[in-house]
Amino acid sequence: MSTANKRKLDLRKHLLSPLRRFIKDSRAVGIVLIICTVISIFLANSRFSMAYQSFWAMPVHLPLRGIVLPHDLTAFVNDALMAVFFLFVGMEIKREMLVGALSSIRQSALPVIAAIGGMLVPAGIYLFWNHNTPLAHGWGIPMATDIAFSLGILSLLGNRIPLSLKIFLTALAIIDDLGAIIAIALFYTAQIHWLYLGLAAGCLLILIVLNLLKRQRVFWYFLAGTGLWYCLLRSGVHATLAGVLLAFTLPLSQIPKIEHRLHYPVNFIILPVFALANTAIVLPAHTWSILLKETATYGIAGGLIFGKPLGILFFSFLSVKLKLARLPQGLTWRHVTGMGMIAGIGFTMSIFISMLAFNSPESQTAAKIAVLVASLISAIAGYGYLRNLFKKTLEAP
């Protein structure tokens, strides 16, 4: 092997190592998120409820005049900390598009088409229940797949899971996240303040120039990225988009180092804090009547539980039959069906979009509960289906 090819192979391994580490740790991430969700719901419905709710409603101030930040702690988590999460996801997307599972048409065709089906069908089911109603704006809620939770559930099956199935689910979830990010940017944006949007465009231009000049010092990228975040926050466009834009302009060679530093803070601090802040749901005595009354819950539950597996399986099957893609070696349509069920775990992105889609606290609560219930059902159904499938495979002569 030539020196150039060896260096290329070493770089490829170096770039892909965060993905392998992410897959390895996904079980722990999922467990931590489940624990934080249970704790948050318990505290919100205990005698500590008032204090717990007040904590997340605590105002955020800086001793600098003229600097406007998210108004309370929950908003700070959703607008600032989640921008770091989107930076992490954006780097995953960029790396996969350049050197990973999405780096060629042949490699990316099936997960891309499957992800499109997994977004369109759930959104269609939601709109079937909610078209021409004030709740129609929530169509983006059942589109997303939670990477940490879905891979965590898949990892519970141990070594019986083919690596190709994990890669397929990871690529699909990444594309789902990209779709959700685009939906947030285009459809879940408040009133636009054009001055700040123009300043944000200037910050983005600086980031692009730094990339074109091949500047490797990440300090300047993060300085311009912070300016981009603040200008987007003031412009009305959701500030978390800054994380993705920053990720796409970072030098590819610097991404593994940044991911390595962000991996544990994002997965074991930011996501758990997000879960604690956004699942502090006070369950009223008439919870089930609210769920039954709100048609949004039917759309969310139907989209995640049924729409995800149906959309993924149908679009995948159609793409293979039309020879637009091919099924990875070692996988069957039963594997894809079980993976589609697990892809119905929405959680992080679905709850995040619920906060943007609805202004009514009652609608937000109903949507969050629907996401949690649908994600739980999808996790149990997908795990049970695949466990039974692999058990039969092992028992077969």
If one compares 78 and 104, the residue with the highest pLDDT of the two is 78
Q: Is 40 helix (H, G, I), strand (E, B) or coil?
A: helix
Between CA 217 and CA 250 the distance in angstroms is 10
Which residue ranges form the domains of the chain, and what is each CATH number? 9-189+238-395 (1.20.1530.10)
Torsional sign, CA 343, 348, 354, 356: negative
Q: What is the DSSP string of 187-245?
A: HS-----HHHHHHHHHHHHHHHHHHHTT---HHHHHHHHHHHHHHHHHHSS-TTHHHHH
The values of phi and psi at residue 286, to 5°, are -100, 40
Query: pTM of the entire structure?
Result: 0.75
Tokens of 24: 């390895």
Contacts of 117 (CB under 8 A, 6+ apart): 311, 312, 313, 314, 315, 316
The CA angle 297-146-353, to the nearest 5 degrees, is 50
pLDDT confidence of residue 12? 60
> What mean pLDDT do residues 383-394 have?
81
If one compares 184 and 116, the residue with the highest pLDDT of the two is 116
When mean pLDDT is compared across 26-40, 48-62, 76-90, 228-242, the lowest value belongs to 26-40
pLDDT confidence of residue 19? 55
- Report pLDDT digits (tens) over 348-383: 889 889 988 888 888 888 898 899 899 999 999 999
Between CA 312 and CA 314 the distance in angstroms is 6
- Report pLDDT digits (tens) over 139-174: 999 998 887 778 778 877 777 778 778 878 878 887
- Report pLDDT digits (tens) over 270-283: 989 988 988 888 87
